[in-house]
Structure 1
Amino acid sequence: MSDLVALMSPIRRRLITAGLLHVVYALSALVPFVCVAELARALLGSTGAAPWTIVAIAAGALLVRFLAFGASGVISHFADADLQLHLRRRLAAKLSAVPLGWFTERNSGQVKKVLQDDVREMHHLVAHALLDLLAAAITPIAALAYLLWVDWRLTLVTLLPIPLFAAAFAVMMRGYGEQMRRWGEATARINAAVVEFVQGIAVVKTFGQTSRSHERFARAADDFADFFGAWVRPMLRLSGLSTALIAPPTMLLVTLAGGVVFTAQGWIQPVDVLPFVLVGVGLTAPFQLLDAGSMQLRQAAEAASRVAALLAEPVLPEPETPLKPDGARVEFRGVGFSYDGSTRVLEDIDLTLEPGTLTALVGPSGSGKSTLGRLLARFYDVGTGEVLVGGRNIKEIGSAELYRHVGFVFQDVQLLRASIADNIALGSPAAGRTDIEKVARAAQIHERIEQLPRGYDSVIGVDAHLSGGEMQRVSIARALLADAPILVLDEATAFADPESEAAIQDALSTLIAGRTVLVIAHRLHTITGADQIVVLDHGRVAEIGRQPELPAYVRQALR
């Protein structure tokens, strides 16, 4: 709950204003019912109040109710819109500042849930639930005060169902916090399964694995249904019972029974039962809002905790006074790294990449090749040692400056849902169409782009549907335009067909010319021209040399 309060701090004053207006609305909504009861008592001579005065008060209360409700609704909805904008901007800023490796550890479904679903979940709280909860609390208190003024004894009789409702409700809510946590986790699993299923549908259909791919989503949905059923089923009877205890017919029955007894005993006049019939029957109606509002409050609190957790993620530290690299020489000095803080993925890596040379990283799966490449691109910060670019520790180089010097092309190509031109110009937004076409030609993708319905203005996923090899060449064109002097290549041809591989190799030949290149290699023929081959084994450098210089068993392993 503290996370929720902290997140709503930018709109606190407006929420207080809307809340005060809603209090006025709740009180003015009760006044006409009181006026009807008092008018009846006045007409029957039970009180000396002037009938037309009571009518005027009722009419004025209706007008105030309308104005207060409208004003509180407008203020709360505008406050909610501003809060959602504020939170999404903060989340976007946070996502742009976390280490790039943060994204490799999370799927898009989890990020989407926080950025979209959880922020939207807070809308119901800010724009509706908080005001409804306030009204649900104020209305019974005001009604109770009025009924106590009329007759405190009959008021106590009218309130008899409420303790029974409270007891049933308390039993029903036991363990609610834990269940809501499980609800959030189950929903996140469904979101992740849906996103992964949709993103991979083309591949799984191609290989006839649609049913297997669908199983994960179906299993997530079935698990959610089982959990929800096991949670809700025992609550249904209690929910029905508690609702029946404070339903208007029940309240009317209790009120009339008490009124008959009190009138028969001569304790009150028959006309004095009327306020309890008009106001007492609705005394418990707000409890229904309290029930629904409390659930929305808990859901919003859970959503707020996830939003706050993302906002609390550590960002990539930026130097106060960024330094600029002097050249394109890369050095790994005593580098060690662990993802979880205990299991070492890399240990004591000492390696130098001279300017203009190509260094190939090879080794068995899990040896740390991709991790080492990502450390150079500062997806993560090293645990021990340091990585130097141009004689400067990359921690002393600002991110913007670092990525002007270090570019990367990975197997998993990511293109934005934007035009081809915008995707290529991502690393150099000021580039003109001539420069974009020039690098596209060098990347062997210009002719394919020209075949698209709108050429370079075609939008990825709309009227530009590219193959994996074509997307890879677009990413190479992007890297060419960025013109970084240091490149990290995670075997860009690993999954390409022979024709695409040849085109990608030609594009890569253009890309790496004159640059310091670190290639994460999986196939021998892609590194035959490497200036040095570094063999990693269990996170350590096992051998360094050119292919003919490496031991026979290493050369055999590379085949």
Structure 2
Amino acid sequence: MSQKNVEERPGQLDSAVSQAAAGTESALEIRDTELDDGSAGQGHGPGDGPHVPAGQDGSTNRGLGIAAILKRLLLFARPFWNKMILAVLLAIVGAALTVIGPHFLERITNEIEAGLASTIDLVEVRRLIIISVIILVLSFIASYMQARLMVDATQKTSQNLRSSLNKKIDGMPLAYFDKTSHGDTLSRVSNDVDTLSQTLNSAVSSVITGVATLLGASLMMFITEWRMALAGMFAAALGFILSLFIMKHSQKYFVLRQRELGALNGMIEETYSGHSVVRVYNAERSARHEFHNRNEALYNTSWKADFLGGLMNPVMMFVGNLGYVVVCVVGAILVINGTIPIGVIVSFMIYIRMFTNPLTSIAQAATGFQNATAAGTRVFELIDEEEMPDESDKPADVPAVRGHVSFDHVKFGYDPDKTIIHDFSAEVYPGQKVAIVGPTGAGKTTMVNLLMRFYEIDSGEIRIDGVPTSSMRRENVDALFGMVLQDTWMFKGTMRENLVYRTEGVTQEGLDAVVEEVGLKEFIKQLPDGYETVMEEDGALSAGQKQLVTIARAMLADDPLLILDEATSSIDTRTEQLVQKSLDTLTAGRTSFVIAHRLSTIRDADIIFVMRDGDIVETGKHTELLAKGGFYSDLYNSQFDPAE
């Protein structure tokens, strides 16, 4: 995404703020209706169509499966495969050293038992103890290195995954954000990726070490005493089968939990971004009711997921204790019969622990994998969403333009079955100030969105200096336009950074001149640190002051084409007169598109496009259109006395 595109899109992407007043009100009305029929919790959000909460958009609740998730995660981990392979080898070495240790403990026990009848060979006992300690130290070093390598590899894989999601969102069409809850998208990028990261960091290491230890312990048990090995492993197998049964029935609840979490986040983000509307319309009750429903749904799925997942640990503890009992009984019988020495029982007590502990770790990791499967399904659903077409084959340079804009039989609809712009044709010549007026829903803002390629037209063509915008890269189209939106946007940073944003080469003198021209000079003087005062997105600035900042930002950017979408809507009448002069300076020599409901602000426009139901119904200057006595005259006279 181009730097300018970053600036323009927040007004589109961050609809939770920019559309709160329009969307939240309708959402609350829907929720109040739903409360009457008991269907609360299925509310709609802002946007052109119904908001579909996570898990209710027609997608299935079944996950991709742990094998598919791990396969795709391994693709992200490709640059770190060498570290992962070395970690696996070190895990095998560490496990091998660990399972060898009890063999020497068995020999120490046997030496002591044999020496009870005569003399204990302390030299041999000391030698065996030293070997055991060395084995334990080497096992610790191998395990430490394995954990270090795996943590490094998994965290960098998570970093790659986040980078891919960030790039993916940059390449997503705005239509996706119109129909998808922003809170749900944020939940995928934050909560779900964090869940995957935690699983990679802990569960994967546990499984690698556990499997290696499990295999090593099994081998050593069979080498030491095959009858006791069979008895102990039979008891463990019962617990493992029970764990698989639990996993099979708990997986669906882990998937549902992630989806309910995304739905709850979406509802919270929507409600609190429009908090003032909720207060004004006394909708706290319905908002609390919906929150309660979603919170209850999340509680129910989380309780079932955690309860079934939590059964793993007590089941495996039972298996471990059962294994001790079986080994002791079978071992005691074999010792009484003189088949084995007592040292075998001592070593087997450790082997059984080595055999059952990895099963416990693997069972716990399985719970983590269930979370990862649910989270991974949602993450990869986002990654698999259709992106905007690749434009790398188009010219990379931003063209120099004069500002001749042509609309040639443009047709468009947000929904393929519902056309909004029917057959829009117009010519705008370099340096003209074009006003686009019409009632709400006429298609004014839609035309601007199409001009900047925020959406692709269904048919027809838009050309700048004879070059179709469809043949230009989106970021190059964006680079041609400055924009002042009705919905202002500021980020956390200094006032200077908010004013200059991504415009390079701005001098202090140029900044001061623009600030004075838009009427911000006195306000900035009152700030504690002047231009260096850190501003918050929702800080102490009024709506009018924020709009002045965005106007100054556009003036500093000095782009050849300009879009003003209700640029003075949040400014009082006195300030509007001052800003209007600044806007006249800003639009001088630039092709400008002005969307305005206050028709007094566009009297001096070179040409006025009057839109109704997606079509231009009248064109001309202000005085000409008034003289016609048509639709424009009706709009104007509805705001002003005809005597004016």
> In 2, distance between residues paired with 1:386 and 1:91?
32
Pairing 1:135-150 to 2, within 5 Å after superposition: 135-150=209-224
Q: Which moved more, 1:174-183 or 1:61-70?
A: 174-183
2:371 to 288, 299, 302: 299
> In 1, distance between residues paired with 2:185 and 2:575?
33
Structure 1 residue aligned with 2:315: 242
Q: Which moved more, 1:378-387 or 1:215-224?
A: 215-224
Q: What is the CA distance between 1:64 and its match in structure 2?
A: 1.0
Q: What is the CA distance between 1:3 and its match in structure 2?
A: 2.2
> In 1, distance between residues paired with 2:142 and 2:78?
23
> In 1, distance between residues paired with 2:149 and 2:552?
49
> In 1, distance between residues paired with 2:210 and 2:197?
19
**Structure 1 370/106 Cα, relative in aligned 2: closer, same or farther at 3 Å?**
farther
Structure 1 residue aligned with 2:550: 475
Q: What is the CA distance between 1:52 and its match in structure 2?
A: 4.1
Task: Tell me if the contact between 2:77 and 2:154 (Cα under 8 Å) persists in the aligned partners.
Answer: no
Question: What is the letter of the counterpart of residue 128 of structure 1?
Answer: S
Q: What is the CA distance between 1:531 and its match in structure 2?
A: 3.5
> In 2, distance between residues paired with 1:81 and 1:499?
56
> In 2, distance between residues paired with 1:462 and 1:536?
34
Task: Tell me if the contact between 2:175 and 2:414 (Cα under 8 Å) persists in the aligned partners.
Answer: no
Structure 1 residue aligned with 2:348: 276
Helix, strand or coil at the partner of 1:382: coil
Structure 2 residue aligned with 1:157: 231
Helix, strand or coil at the partner of 2:456: coil
TM-score (norm 1): 0.88
Q: What is the CA distance between 1:291 and its match in structure 2?
A: 1.9
1:370 to 431, 440, 445: 445
> In 2, distance between residues paired with 1:119 and 1:152?
45
Question: What is the letter of the counterpart of residue 525 of structure 1?
Answer: S
Post-superposition Cα deviations, 1:323-381, rounded to whole Å, max 9, x if no partner, equal 62541011111222233444333232212222222333334443332221111122122
Pairing 1:50-199 to 2, within 5 Å after superposition: 50-99=124-173, 108-174=182-248, 176-196=250-270, 199=273
Tell me if 1:548 matches 2:626. Answer: yes
Q: What is the CA distance between 1:264 and its match in structure 2?
A: 4.9
> In 1, distance between residues paired with 2:547 and 2:225?
81
> In 1, distance between residues paired with 2:92 and 2:401?
66
Question: What is the letter of the counterpart of residue 25 of structure 1?
Answer: G
> In 1, distance between residues paired with 2:250 and 2:215?
27
Question: What is the letter of the counterpart of residue 590 of structure 2?
Answer: R
Helix, strand or coil at the partner of 1:273: helix
Pairing 1:14-33 to 2, within 5 Å after superposition: 14-33=83-102
Aligned length: 556
Q: What is the CA distance between 1:134 and its match in structure 2?
A: 0.7
Q: Over the residues paired in the alignment, what is the CA RMSD in angstroms? A: 3.3
> In 1, distance between residues paired with 2:259 and 2:579?
42
Task: Tell me if the contact between 2:483 and 2:554 (Cα under 8 Å) persists in the aligned partners.
Answer: yes
**Structure 1 555/166 Cα, relative in aligned 2: closer, same or farther at 3 Å?**
farther
Task: Tell me if the contact between 1:346 and 1:539 (Cα under 8 Å) persists in the aligned partners.
Answer: yes
Q: What is the CA distance between 1:122 and its match in structure 2?
A: 3.2
Q: What is the CA distance between 1:447 and its match in structure 2?
A: 1.9
Tell me if 1:529 matches 2:601. Answer: no
Structure 2 residue aligned with 1:3: 72
Task: Tell me if the contact between 2:236 and 2:323 (Cα under 8 Å) persists in the aligned partners.
Answer: no
1:327 to 392, 402, 406: 402
1:490 to 558, 565, 568: 565
> In 1, distance between residues paired with 2:459 and 2:266?
34
Helix, strand or coil at the partner of 1:529: coil
> In 1, distance between residues paired with 2:97 and 2:330?
28
1:253 to 325, 345, 348: 325
Task: Tell me if the contact between 2:495 and 2:534 (Cα under 8 Å) persists in the aligned partners.
Answer: yes
Structure 2 residue aligned with 1:385: 460
Task: Tell me if the contact between 2:240 and 2:359 (Cα under 8 Å) persists in the aligned partners.
Answer: no
> In 2, distance between residues paired with 1:220 and 1:503?
49
Task: Tell me if the contact between 1:325 and 1:391 (Cα under 8 Å) persists in the aligned partners.
Answer: no
Helix, strand or coil at the partner of 1:517: strand
Tell me if 1:40 matches 2:109. Answer: yes
Task: Tell me if the contact between 2:213 and 2:354 (Cα under 8 Å) persists in the aligned partners.
Answer: no
Structure 2 residues without counterparts, runs of 5 or longer: 1-68, 116-120, 639-644
> In 2, distance between residues paired with 1:342 and 1:180?
37
Post-superposition Cα deviations, 1:133-175, rounded to whole Å, max 9, x if no partner, equal 1111111211111111122122221123333223322332225
> In 1, distance between residues paired with 2:605 and 2:144?
72
Helix, strand or coil at the partner of 2:535: coil
**Structure 1 236/64 Cα, relative in aligned 2: closer, same or farther at 3 Å?**
closer
Q: What is the CA distance between 1:210 and its match in structure 2?
A: 6.2
Q: Which moved more, 1:368-377 or 1:314-323?
A: 314-323
Helix, strand or coil at the partner of 2:217: helix
Task: Tell me if the contact between 2:84 and 2:150 (Cα under 8 Å) persists in the aligned partners.
Answer: yes
Helix, strand or coil at the partner of 1:336: strand
Q: What is the CA distance between 1:89 and its match in structure 2?
A: 3.8
Tell me if 1:12 matches 2:81. Answer: yes
Helix, strand or coil at the partner of 2:406: strand
> In 2, distance between residues paired with 1:392 and 1:369?
23
Task: Tell me if the contact between 2:313 and 2:363 (Cα under 8 Å) persists in the aligned partners.
Answer: no
Q: What is the CA distance between 1:506 and its match in structure 2?
A: 4.5
Q: Which moved more, 1:428-437 or 1:506-515?
A: 506-515
Q: What is the CA distance between 1:119 and its match in structure 2?
A: 3.5
Tell me if 1:314 matches 2:387. Answer: yes
Q: What is the CA distance between 1:482 and its match in structure 2?
A: 1.0
Post-superposition Cα deviations, 1:103-151, rounded to whole Å, max 9, x if no partner, equal 5555653443344334333332333221111111111211111111122
> In 1, distance between residues paired with 2:589 and 2:234?
87
Post-superposition Cα deviations, 1:395-444, rounded to whole Å, max 9, x if no partner, equal 33344443332122212222121111111112413212222222222222
Q: Which moved more, 1:208-217 or 1:7-16?
A: 208-217
**Structure 1 97/127 Cα, relative in aligned 2: closer, same or farther at 3 Å?**
same
Q: Which moved more, 1:208-217 or 1:129-138?
A: 208-217
Tell me if 1:409 matches 2:487. Answer: no
Helix, strand or coil at the partner of 1:173: helix
Q: Which moved more, 1:130-139 or 1:351-360?
A: 351-360
Task: Tell me if the contact between 1:197 and 1:217 (Cα under 8 Å) persists in the aligned partners.
Answer: no
Structure 1 residue aligned with 2:26: none
Task: Tell me if the contact between 1:335 and 1:347 (Cα under 8 Å) persists in the aligned partners.
Answer: yes
Question: What is the letter of the counterpart of residue 447 of structure 1?
Answer: E
Helix, strand or coil at the partner of 1:283: helix
Paired-residue identity, %: 24
Question: What is the letter of the counterpart of residue 101 of structure 2?
Answer: P
Structure 1 residue aligned with 2:510: 435
> In 2, distance between residues paired with 1:67 and 1:378?
58
Q: What is the CA distance between 1:306 and its match in structure 2?
A: 4.3
Helix, strand or coil at the partner of 2:559: coil
Post-superposition Cα deviations, 1:15-37, rounded to whole Å, max 9, x if no partner, equal 11122212222332333333223
1:425 to 493, 497, 500: 500
Tell me if 1:512 matches 2:569. Answer: no
Q: Which moved more, 1:65-74 or 1:109-118?
A: 109-118
Structure 1 residues without counterparts, runs of 5 or longer: none
Q: Which moved more, 1:302-311 or 1:279-288?
A: 302-311
Helix, strand or coil at the partner of 2:434: strand
Helix, strand or coil at the partner of 2:501: helix
Question: What is the letter of the counterpart of residue 287 of structure 1?
Answer: L
> In 1, distance between residues paired with 2:554 and 2:329?
83
Question: What is the letter of the counterpart of residue 355 of structure 2?
Answer: L
Helix, strand or coil at the partner of 2:567: coil
